[in-house]
Amino acid sequence: MSNNGNLKLAIQKSGRLSENSLQLLKNCNLDIEKFNDRLVVSIRNFKLDLLFLRDDDIPEYVQDGVAELGIVGQDVLYETKADVKVVKKLGFGRCSLRIAIPENDDLRDIEDLNGKRIATSFPNILRDFLKQNKIDAKIVNISGSVEAAPSLGIADYICDLVSTGNTLKLNKLKSSISVLESEAVLIKNKNLKNHSDKYQIFLKLLSRIESVLNANNSKYIMMNVPKNSLNDILQIIPSLKSPTVLPLADDESLAVHAVIPAEKFWEIVDDLKSAGASGILLLPIENIII
């Protein structure tokens, strides 16, 4: 790889985190060349190279400084026990590492794991979890298709990632105890601060990422309200800052604009209508610089 002074960010080449990782970077206005099967791609308009890797390799590469930054799931990060710094949770790749058991089985409490064989691709996380809970169970280490282990007779239970639960259902398993709640995180090499040029590039990239994450979580709401309902409406809006109130031509109504947490919209829309708001518009926001 050329030593071009660019910061290097490792992301998953192909898998659950790939699309969201690329989309986050595109939303940061980074111009990513079509990468086809290349493993290293330079960004045209920013001093950044992207490395496309297996996700399991990312924490160690960042620890060793092969890449200064990485995007990886917390599950993989903790499993590898790499010595890196978590910079930011990224809000995608949410899943949960869980003990799952056959549909017709019953796990009343965690003590029932004693003496069981549990198949997993996360032996380190599972070992720590069992130790913390003083459980004596056998860990069966499998690298993939863990859900098949109980029906193959090689384990009683499994410990694997669950999101919708569909994979468990297909394999006649049901979710039980949560071992770890995970999402994608931005990680960085611990010595990055000592490389002042690259550290400056990192700070610029981080401020773009933060502005995109803020924007993803927020929406711009606009509505018309009768003048005498203004106070009621302002009470309902969970605005991040004071809303903007503008006069309208008809002299009876006002326009109210505000930035709100995206998840609040459906909670407040009926109250807004009851209080007299009309023509309610909800718009996406690209960036918020605080």
Binding site for ligand ATP (CB under 6 A): 12, 15-17, 54-56, 73, 75-76, 93-95, 161, 163, 182
Q: Output the CA–CA distances (angstroms, integers) from residue 261 to 19, 54, 274, 290, in the order listed.
A: 24, 34, 21, 15
With binding defined as CB under 6 A, does residue 143 bind ligand PRP?
A: no
With binding defined as CB under 6 A, does residue 100 bind ligand PRP?
A: no
> Which run of H or E residues covers position 58?
helix 58-64
Nearer to ligand ATP, 49 or 55 (CB): 55
CB of 239 to Mg ion, least distance (A): 42
Nearer to ligand ATP, 24 or 223 (CB): 24
CB of 12 to ligand ATP, least distance (A): 5
Binding test (CB under 6 A) with ligand PRP, winner from 162, 201, 221, 277:
162
CB of 168 to ligand ATP, least distance (A): 11
Amino acid letter, 82:
A
With binding defined as CB under 5 A, does residue 56 bind Mg ion?
A: yes
- Provide the 10 A C-beta neighbour count for residue 31: 11
How many residues bind ligand PRP, per CB under 6 A? Answer: 10
Contact 39, 13 (CB under 8 A): yes
Contact 168, 100 (CB under 8 A): yes
Contact 53, 12 (CB under 8 A): yes
Pairwise CA distance, residues 167 & 1, whole Å: 39
Residue 12 contact among Mg ion, ligand ATP, ligand PRP, none, beta carbon within 5 to 8 Å by kind: ligand ATP
Nearer to ligand PRP, 104 or 164 (CB): 164
Place of tokens 């056998």: 138
Nearer to ligand PRP, 144 or 153 (CB): 144
Amino acid letter, 275:
A
With binding defined as CB under 5 A, does residue 55 bind Mg ion?
A: yes
Residues 12-41 that bind ligand PRP (CB under 6 A): 16
Residue of 176, 160, 154, 74 whose CA lies nearest to 120: 160
3-state secondary structure of 149: helix
Nearer to ligand PRP, 183 or 232 (CB): 183
Residues 164-223 that bind ligand PRP (CB under 6 A): 164-167
Pairwise CA distance, residues 164 & 101, whole Å: 16
CB neighbour list of residue 189: distance below 8 Å, 6 or more residues apart:
62, 63, 65, 67, 68, 69, 84, 85
Nearer to ligand ATP, 17 or 258 (CB): 17
CB of 249 to ligand PRP, least distance (A): 52
> Which residues form the interface with ligand PRP (CB under 6 A)?
16, 144, 160-167
> Which residues form the interface with Mg ion (CB under 5 A)?
55-56
